[in-house]
Amino acid sequence: MIMFPALCGEYLTLLDPMAFVRRPYRWIKELSAEAACGRTIAAAPNFAYELAAERGLPPRGHIIDLSNVVGLLNGSEPVTMSAIEKFTNAFAPYGLPGTAIKPSYGMAEATLGVTTTAPDAAARVVLLDRVQLAAGRAVIVAPETPGAVAYVSCGQPLPNQWAVITDSDGAEVLDGTVGQIWLHGNNIGHGYFGREDETQRTFSNKLQSRLEVGSHAEGTPDNSCWLATGDLGVYIDGELYLTARIKDLIIIDGRNHYPHDIETTVGQASPAIRTGYVAAFSVPAGTVDSPGGNAAEQLVVVAERAAGGGRADPAPIAAAVRAAVSREHHIRVADLRLVAAGAIPRTTSGKLARNACRADYLAGRFSR
């Protein structure tokens, strides 16, 4: 992004993440100031939009005009329709276009950008059957269907970039089938410095076969190299939907469970839990001092308490969480830890650091 002004001749403003977290209005104020000079684009992770809607509204008497804010990229962590709607509704009175937020997908190995929502399109959400999704199939269902899970589209690949969905053998799969996302394009890196084996595994993959009709690899050489992202995704109606990171996938009794799905259930189970501040992961059976049946892995949930929930009795909260997870996902929570706000590790961009949280849990850093 530092190269953006030199390459494109435009103006760039960078805001320190902690400065934003302390006072989200700083971001809104800067958006308005830049928008006064012309069409403005910005980017932030999903949690930032929810936080700005809650704590970033202009103080009385401040004049804010967001009518020229035409693109707000939303990525780097799972995108939720609730955060999009919350932000859009909060700032619509200040001129924010209804199509401003653009759910996107990106990664450092692809020089950040991979897919995004079309300039004139609004965010799109589909509801998928949880059981079918666990089996690797994306089946759209009605909102009232039990087990319906919402996923937001990340749009389509950027120009001169290709994204395909592959099975475990590296063959392209049909639309509607969940698989690993592979990428190809001039923006893809050449490898990791000083890490030859990891570079070979990640950047030097070859498609074993392509779809005869409707291949998303059309236009790429047959012998081209592909980047294996480690992300699971699916194409629906030509748009890419992310479902999970492979390394974060929770497998219990042979069934796949998406951590973000479980975390959403936990966040909605009790008002004493901070929505978006929940980490779900699995640990080997026997790690938790709790009966686990025959499962090789057990589910652990670490959840931050909501504001004012520090003195709440933990027993009803735990009961509500266990009941919700059992009802929605048909698995038991082997251990639930309610922790103070800010206790769950996050990356510098604000994403949940599940692996770091799991390591902290195994090291005994979360007291009962």
Please report, for the chain, the start and end positions of each structural domain, with discontinuous segments joined by +. 4-98, 127-246, 249-362
Question: What is the predicted pLDDT for the residue at 346?
Answer: 81
Which residues, other chains included, contact 42 with Cβ-Cβ below 8 Å and sequence gap of 6+?
Answer: 27, 31, 69, 71, 72, 73
Question: What is the predicted pLDDT for the residue at 291?
Answer: 56
Question: What is the predicted pLDDT for the residue at 87?
Answer: 94
Which residues, other chains included, contact 311 with Cβ-Cβ below 8 Å and sequence gap of 6+?
Answer: none
Give phi and psi for 189, each to the nearest 5: -65, 170
Which residues, other chains included, contact 148 with Cβ-Cβ below 8 Å and sequence gap of 6+?
Answer: 127, 128, 129, 130, 141, 142
CA 286 to each of CA 80, 100, 172, 289: distance values in angstroms, whole numbers, following the listed order: 34, 48, 39, 7
Q: How many CB atoms lie within 10 A of CB 341?
A: 13
Question: What is the predicted pLDDT for the residue at 165?
Answer: 96
Strand, helix or coil for residue 322 = helix
Question: What is the predicted pLDDT for the residue at 297?
Answer: 83
Question: What is the predicted pLDDT for the residue at 111?
Answer: 85
Q: Please, is 11 exposed, middle or buried when counting C-beta atoms within 10 Å of its C-beta (0-12, 13-18, 19+)?
A: exposed
- Tell which residue, 147, 131, 128, has the closest CA to residue 139: 128
Question: What is the predicted pLDDT for the residue at 321?
Answer: 93
CATH superfamily, region 127-246:
Luciferase; Domain 3 (2.30.38.10)
**CATH T-level topology, domain 249-362:** GMP Synthetase; Chain A, domain 3 (3.30.300)
Question: What is the predicted pLDDT for the residue at 319?
Answer: 94
Question: What is the predicted pLDDT for the residue at 26?
Answer: 94
> Running along the chain, 368 residues long, what does each successive block of 10 average in pLDDT?
80 86 92 90 88 90 90 85 92 93 90 88 91 89 88 92 93 94 92 92 92 92 92 94 86 85 90 88 76 70 83 87 91 90 79 86 83
Contact 187, 157 (CB under 8 A): no
Question: What is the predicted pLDDT for the residue at 320?
Answer: 93
Q: Are strands 125-129 and 112-116 parallel, antiparallel or unpaired?
A: unpaired
Q: What is the dihedral of CA 324, 288, 78, 217, to 10 degrees?
A: -120
Question: What is the predicted pLDDT for the residue at 323?
Answer: 94
